[in-house]
Structure 1
Amino acid sequence: MKHLNKLFVAALLALGFTAQAQNEDNPWAISFGVNAVSNRFGASSEFGDQFTHFFKTEESWNVLPSVSYLNVSRYIGSGLSFGVTGSVNKIDKLVTRTPGTLDFQVTDPGDLTYYAVDGIIKYGFLEKSWFNPYVHVGGGYTWLDNSGNGTVNGGIGVNFWFTENVGLTVQSTYKHTFEDQADANVPRHIQHFAGLTFKFGGKDTDKDGIYDKDDECPEVPGLKQFNGCPDTDGDGIPDKSDSCPDVAGLPEFQGCPDTDGDGIPDKDDACPDVAGLKALQGCPDQDGDGVADKDDKCPTVAGPKENGGCPWPDTDGDGVLDKDDLCPNVKGTAANRGCPEVTEEVMKRLNEYARTILFNSGKATFKEETMPVLASMLAIFKEYPNANFSIEGHTDSDGSNALNQTLSENRAAAVKGFLVENGIVADRLTSKGFGETKPVASNKTAKGKAQNRRVEVKLIKTE
């Protein structure tokens, strides 16, 4: 055992320089266990006789009852791996053959220390099976005490995998020296190995049992059927392809649910609990007016969107909808946009009142007794809130034309002012003065002059 330190140095070298192990998932492997050495095979002269005592361990097997070999290897690819094995043993049984006979003798050479360093190339079969046989070739150097020989090696072996990473390895290796058996420092022999093998080196960042090289989601634990990607909601659609990864859904909606079954996924459905129409973002429309029930103020009666889904009202019942009715609270005609039309009879009454308006002489102020007349006119103007009127003032021929013109303008303006002050919109009224230019009677008589001093109202018609 004095050279045991050399074996451990060789083992360290093996850890640093070995090339590949059992498979691409876990490219590295380390094996250790016991080994047995027998030169019975090499001592036979006939091939058939080489196996006659193969399993008679007590006759020729040298076994060190402790951990006596270490192998480190790395997977190359296509079933091939390369490794280095260091082994140690104690040789107390050496087989020799009596020359000229088939007789064998087992001698005790005096506890020779056996140690070897071997390179090994393996080709495995059934890589994905728990039963993994292989053949191997290689070469190395073997010492018996201080004497050694190079060897060319070959053999068979098998791995029995208990788990993906742990297995039992059994191997037999024939080591051939090219010197004459009698002259060789190390005779040709067979070395048997039995031990545990541990595969390692596969990277699984998220610890989901799927190696990073095969894991499409290496940072997040996932499922094998999704190549390592998670399916948080369990709907059979991996999160990376699931638009709603936290809620179980349907494949046709990229993993999103459709609670109301209307063909619109909940994430796009404004009414996810009630079946509706695609055009209304999944909301129903009971009255079919194109306004979703949730936005429809009259969900059971069809109406335009502009009125919140309700029919337009006709408050005054004149057949003109309020939206088009300029006088929604007063009955009118469609021709006058819902407002009452000013008839000739109305204009006749207005002018009957207007002609009786009394002004203080030479002024544009009203006499007290004319106030009821103005009030009656005001009531008529209020009945026709959409009609526009012109207030016209006239005088007799007394006085100058200029004075009469000014007076007529002021009196017409006074009437307009009264109406505006009492609620008539100013934009509906205009006022004009014509002085003495439009008499309706002779200015030569007192009666005619009285008729010429007047106020007239005219309807302004609009298109």
Structure 2
Amino acid sequence: MRKVIARAIVTTSILGASLLMAESDNIRAYDLAGTFGVTSIKNDGGIKLKNGTFGVNLQMNNFTVKPRFDFEYVRITDKERLIAGLRAKEVNSLIKGSINGVYEMKDAETFFPYALVGVGYEHVTDETQGFESHPFIQGGVGAGYRFRDNSFIVRLEAKLLQILGGETIQGRSEDNEVITTLSFSVPFGRILHSTKQPVQPVMIDSDGDGVMDQFDKCPNTPKGVRVDGAGCPLPEPKTEIIKEQVITSLEGNECPVKIDGPDRDRDGVEDSVDQCPNTPCDFSVDDKGCPVKANLMIHFATDKANITDYSRPLVKRFAEFLINNKGSMVHIIGHTDWRGSDQYNMALSKRRAKAVRDALIEYGVSASRLSTEGRGEREPIASNKTAEGMALNRRTEVKLTYPQYIDAGDK
């Protein structure tokens, strides 16, 4: 059995050395560890950490409470009886297997404390009365430290183990063990999320409209022209024209007559050219009499939900558009790239949508007009296999609707 344990530990070390050759700045799906420590068995009348302990464990990192599978071998180094009065046999070793839930209290770049609870089974070689194979429960605490951009992790851990179903011998029942271990683990598997703030690429806005060149669909916009989220000019405001054309208002009617001509919906566009003849009169419309449309797309840094200085002017302009265009409702949708677990990305996309909503409220838009949704990594607009594609997928989009208006052509 000792040879089996030794081989397992050697295998872990060899695998760890090979994986260290490829450094990573990210949290990966699994941690494989070799452990070394000491155990106080059945307390032996007091805590005596004198029995060598060796093992391996595998931890899965794509959950909030992370499953960890442990295999441990304890060699009994003290040949005195473990329970007074029983000297017929000597227990040589313990072999334990367990499954544990690990909660890391801080997802930090280097140091992180954690706690764990678990269940398992302990096999006793050369069993004797009062010291037999039984299931157990255990709990513990520890602290970890990540080295070399998370390519190597050291953990110090202490656990208390309680045997289930043990016997009381000569009035004593000390069916518990104290275990302290030092482990060395190597992360491997797919990347879940980054632990470091990435260096942001230099972004250029050649025409000075507030939309970076890589996202600007109208790259040569003249200076001073208001643009939408895609960098294209917004429709010219019609406020002054409407004021000049107002003739009168009907007493008791909240929709004044705006032009001298047939205008059934009183939106300021004559019926002969009005392509949306049923628009409510308080809606802002274009020169065809249809509700004005606009778009906003914001991009984010890796694993971040804060709006960048580059994007702030876009959000402000969109807020001004909403304030000047009544009747519209805005649904904000957050997205991520494919790195990270589904659960993590869904939460991140919701935070991104909320960040845009909070900014619009800050700029004066009523909260009652805004709703949010997170869709995680499910709807990419570019390939997630390149850095450029992932940058495009880390975004929020908006859907602008006029819920009080139904165009007859859409029925």
TM normalised by structure 1 equals 0.35
Q: Indicate the structure whose relative CO is greater, using CA pairs within 8 Å and at least 6 residues apart.
A: 2
Larger Rg belongs to:
1
TM normalised by structure 2 equals 0.39
